[in-house]
Copies of this chain bind each other. A is one copy, B any other.
């Protein structure tokens, strides 16, 4: 299954140039510190240049002007992107789910399946669901009534898509994700909590990726919406009526509470928490574990729980290291002043 290419063929594919042996046979790709004589590796970050001569890699992708004492390099403009491009050559995607409907899948007769759709075993697709061309559903996934999935999506195993959710084109949904679960809405009524029906939907736009075991709740009314190009990592919680703008990146275990609206191109680190009903401006960035309970202006970088602008937060954190000592210094000052005033009293008496 392993692909074999020479360094010369690789250089041609990448529009690069071999310095050294252009006939070297490359079997696989590897990280610079793990690569052996049959592997191609890369160096993109100048701080790894020391690996150039240490590495056992058969050949190394490098940027212009980088030399290696012994051994072969392939010079390209962007070593990292070129390396990643080779992933598709050396690790071609393996089709696990055959086109068509597996005999052990259960597809309602009113569901509409596009051309080239692949439905894995033990998938269950309810009435009125629509699945676009070339979309792949891995086994054990449930697609609720009237849910719509676009074209060329990949939905991995054990995913739950509830009633009426709408998924765009080229969306990737990792295993175990839940889209369209009930929002967490209850009204206190004579000392018990009565469930507020959650009758809205979830809309996931094109080119979004949803991480494993992430949960996205349906809106109470209207839509919970993830706009195009946004990438959400594993185990995130997106509550009812949240809107997340375009091309955001949201790291794992982050939670966004109900009705909060996040702008475009925001970046959230892991384990960030944002309370409900806030507005987060375009391009705002959040360090890991940030806790947000106020609106954040566009372009702001924040950190801490409660969150503060990051420069202010860093100053406070640095100061905190000196707080125990500060208490002593203040006590010392008080003593000095007391003894001064005692001296003064003495002198006055």
Using CB atoms and an 8 Å cutoff, list the residues of chain A in contact with chain B.
29-31, 34, 80-81, 84, 87-88, 90-91, 93-94, 96, 102, 104, 106, 120-122, 124, 126-127, 138-142, 144-145, 156-160, 162-163, 172, 174-176, 178, 181-182, 184, 186-187, 189, 191-193, 195-197, 199, 207, 209, 211-213, 215, 217, 221-222, 229, 231, 233-235, 237, 239, 247, 249, 251-253, 255, 257, 269-271, 273, 275, 288-289, 291, 293, 305-306, 308, 312, 315-324, 326-327, 329-330, 333-334, 336-337, 340-341
Copies in the complex: 3
Task: Contact check, A316 vs B327: say whether CB atoms are below 8 A apart.
Answer: no
- Measured between alpha carbons, how far is A127 from B197 in the docked complex, in Å? 34
CB-based nearest B residue for A84: B196
Minimum distance in angstroms from A294 CB to a CB of chain B: 12
User: Assuming the A-B contacts A124-B157, A209-B195, are A181 and B273 also in contact, with contact meaning beta carbons closer than 8 angstroms in the complex?
Assistant: no
Q: Judging by beta carbons under 8 Å apart, are B213 and A178 in contact?
A: yes
24 cross-chain CB contacts under 8 A: A31-B221, A87-B221, A91-B197, A104-B104, A122-B140, A142-B158, A160-B176, A175-B181, A184-B234, A184-B251, A192-B207, A212-B217, A215-B234, A234-B237, A235-B255, A237-B252, A270-B275, A289-B305, A316-B320, A323-B323, A326-B326, A329-B334, A333-B333, A333-B337
Q: Which residues of B contact A235 (CB under 8 A)?
A: 213, 215, 235, 237, 255
In angstroms, Cα B87 to Cα A174, docked, is 32
Residues of B within 8 A of A257 (CB): 251-252, 270, 288
Contacts of A320 in B (CB 8 A): 316, 320, 323
Please give the distance in Å from A117's CB to the nearest CB on chain B: 17
Q: Smallest distance from the beta carbon of A85 to chain B beta carbons, Å?
A: 10
Q: Is the CB of A288 within 8 A of B270?
A: no
User: Contacts A181-B234, A235-B215: A157 and B142 contacting too (C-beta < 8 A)?
Assistant: yes
A230 closest partner in B (C-beta): B193
**Which residues of chain B are near A327, meaning CB under 8 Å?**
319, 322, 326
Contacting residue for A323 out of B142, B182, B229, B316, CB 8 A: B316
Residues of B within 8 A of A229 (CB): 192-193
User: Beyond A31-B221, A239-B252, A270-B237, is A324–B319 a contact (Cβ under 8 Å)?
Assistant: yes
Interchain CB contact under 8 A, B237 and A193:
no
CA distance A141 to B157 in the complex (A): 9
* A103-B211 Cα distance, complex, nearest whole Å: 32
Known contacts A253-B255, A270-B257, A337-B336: A247-B193 contact under CB 8 Å? yes
Within 8 Å by CB of A140, from B90, B124, B231, lies: B124
Distance (Å) between the CB of A279 and the closest chain B CB?
A: 13
- Tell me the smallest distance from the CB of A290 to a CB of chain B, in Å: 9
- B193→A249 contact, CB < 8 A: yes
Which of B31, B209, B288 sits near A293, CB closer than 8 Å?
B288
Q: Which residues of B contact A184 (CB under 8 A)?
A: 211, 231, 233-234, 251-252
- Cα distance, A178 to B235, chains bound together (Å): 11
> CA separation between A139 and B30, bound complex, in Å?
37
B174 touches A176 (CB 8 A): no
Q: Which chain B positions have C-beta within 8 A of A90?
A: 199
